[in-house]
Structure 1
């Protein structure tokens, strides 16, 4: 499989995927290394511009 085929397949498979109310990867990383508890909803106000 060449890179273009793989890219097209990935884009096709994930085109309808949305975050909804989920966290982004930088937010999850921050949450994993901080005081967040996953049973409570938290804002992302503690993220810096570099972490967003």
Structure 2
């Protein structure tokens, strides 16, 4: 992922957390926006207990 794309994804993530409070809604928003922006299929998983 190039630098510009990383910045855009970071902006999108902040926007998702501002607009939504439930993790499933945040993940759904990010996935739909990335699918739209990149013309491909993305997966987004958000949770508190990953990597433990």
Question: Normalising to structure 2: TM-score of the pair?
Answer: 0.30
Question: Normalising to structure 1: TM-score of the pair?
Answer: 0.30
Higher helix share: 2
Which structure has more relative contact order (CA 8 Å, sep 6+)? It is 1
